Amino acid sequence: MTQLVNALVQELRERELLLPIWGEGEKVVLLDQTRLPFKTVYLEIYTVVELCTAIKDMTIRGSGALGLAGAWGAYLASLKNDNLEAFQRDLAALKATRPTAVNLAKTVDEIGTDLDPRQFKEQVVQRLIDIVHRQLNFELALGEAGAALIHDGDTIMTHCHSGALAGAGYGGRALSVIRRAWEQGKKISVLVNETRPYLQGARITAWELKRLGIPFTLITDNMSGFCLEKGMVNLVVVGSDRVARNGDLANKIGTYLHALAAYDNNVPFYTATSSHTIDLNTPSGDTIPVEMRPAEEVLTLAGQPIAEPGTKALYPAFDITPHRLITGIITEKGVIYPPFEKNLVEIFG
């Protein structure tokens, strides 16, 4: 089994990819995204418990990468367990780590369903390989579809980080669109929201854009309304952690505010996603669970306290952007426009 995994990783390394996670023999290696951009630290993960901790600590994050973490976690579980019941317990632990990110749960369910107790290890490896290839193909296809929306000279605003390290290594969701437009020779620039409190925009999106050579400007989250009102933005492209059947979007906290400002200033607002993140079993954003993270994460910045001791804080990790604010949903099957419920069910049902 490890030979098949090593061949997969070698294939990925031969492409221009920035891998967030991969397997090496009987371990999984991931890039610690909490240490970027100043340190490049790789963690070696040997157990599902260690991987669950890394996911909860946001060492690896982003809907596509979390799906891959689920697949690689299943691979780890198959190495450590000879019993299918014990293997399934490990999968349940993986699913419980990030409840809002449907891609993680869907991938774990896909890899763990209808397994033969006598051959489940081999089945897991083959499904892992299929999932990695599919995720990469998703990114390439949605990048192509979304790049058609971008014109020469455009400035694109994005929020949080929806790039290579949040996906299979090409560009994740939003940055696949931006990267492909850049590869097509379009002279574009990007406005990057810093994305408090984890600063994924400042730490990771800006870092990826710099590596790609794409011009960008970093702004604080509360500047986006100013930039949109002043005509500095041609379109907004964000990622997604879950899209409901009616088109409501769960994405990093702050997305809703940017969508409101874009709508008020007639700036197109798109989310880039894949079919695996579209949840037709969730009727609307009202029924999407929103992960609440520790308040302490709001009270510190780069490990330093920023508020009076004893200050209370609130940290919902995601918010819900209603479908009425969304111009279109960029997918590997093209751009989906309203009415979203009808079109999403028709195309992905």
What sign for the dihedral angle of Cα 165, 170, 172, 177? Answer: positive
Q: Which amino acid would we find at residue 103?
A: N
Same domain, yes or no: 173 and 151: yes
| 1-5, 206-210, 232-236, 338-342: segment of lowest average pLDDT | 1-5
333 annotated as ligand-binding: no
| Range(s) of the domain holding residue 48 | 2-138
In this structure, the answer to whether residues 285 and 339 fall within a common structural domain is yes
Pairing of strands 300-301, 304-305: antiparallel
Q: Give the pLDDT mean for 185-213.
A: 97
Do residues 151 and 299 share a domain?
A: yes
Same domain (yes/no): 27, 158: no
Percentage with pLDDT > 90 across the chain? 94
pTM: 0.93
Same domain, 160 and 206: yes
Task: With a cut of 90, say whether residue 42 has pLDDT above it.
Answer: yes
Residue finishing a domain among 79, 113, 138 = 138
Q: Which residues pair with 113 in a beta bridge?
A: none
- pLDDT grade for 311, boundaries at 50, 70 and 90: very high
Q: Which tokens in the block code for residue 230?
A: 């002043």
**Helices and strands of the chain, counted as H and E runs:** 12, 16
**Mean pLDDT computed over 171-194:** 98
> Is residue 6 annotated as involved in ligand binding?
no
Preceding peptide of 338 cis, ω within 30°: no
Number of domains in the chain: 2
Q: Is the peptide bond before 37 cis (omega within 30 degrees of 0)?
A: yes
Phi-psi region of 300 (alpha: psi -120 to 50; beta: other; left: phi over 0): beta
The CATH number covering residue 77 comes to 1.20.120.420
pLDDT(178) > 80 = yes
CATH (domain of 174): 3.40.50.10470
- The pLDDT of residue 212 is 96
Judgement on whether residues 183 and 326 belong to the same structural domain of the protein: yes
> Which residue, 138, 173, 197, sits at the end of a domain?
138
Segment holding 3, helix H or strand E = helix 2-13
pLDDT tens-digit series, residues 214-251: 999 999 999 999 999 999 999 999 999 999 999 999 99
- pLDDT tens digits, 57-72: 999 999 899 999 999 9
Residue 19 pLDDT level (bands cut at 50, 70, 90): very high
The candidate with the shortest Cα–Cα distance to 101, out of 160, 158, 42, 43, is: 160
346 φ/ψ angles, rounded to the nearest 5 degrees: -65, -40
Q: Which two tokens stand for residue 188?
A: 């574009």
Kindly report the average pLDDT of the chain as a whole number.
96
- In angstroms, the CA 308 to CA 196 distance is 18
Question: Which position has the higher pLDDT, 99 or 312?
Answer: 312
Residue 69 to residue 55: CA distance in whole angstroms: 8
Residue 167 in marked binding region: no
Q: What is the pLDDT of residue 220?
A: 98
Confirm or deny that 98 is annotated as ligand binding.
yes
Q: Say what the pLDDT of residue 3 is.
A: 84
Position 249 scores a pLDDT of 98
Percent of the chain with pLDDT over 70: 100
What pLDDT, in 10s, does the model give residues 131-173?
A: 999 999 999 999 999 999 999 999 999 999 999 999 999 999 9
User: Which residues are part of the catalytic machinery?
Assistant: 241
Residues 268 and 323 occupy one common structural domain: yes
Q: Is 222 annotated as a binding residue?
A: no
Do 307 and 202 share a structural domain?
yes
Residues 196 and 61 in one domain: no
In terms of domains, do 134 and 153 share one? no
- The answer on 154 and 95 residing in a single domain is no
Q: Is 203 assigned to a binding site?
A: no
| Residue 13 annotated as binding site | no
Q: Are residues 89 and 226 in the same domain?
A: no
Q: Of 103, 138, 173, which residue is a domain's last? A: 138
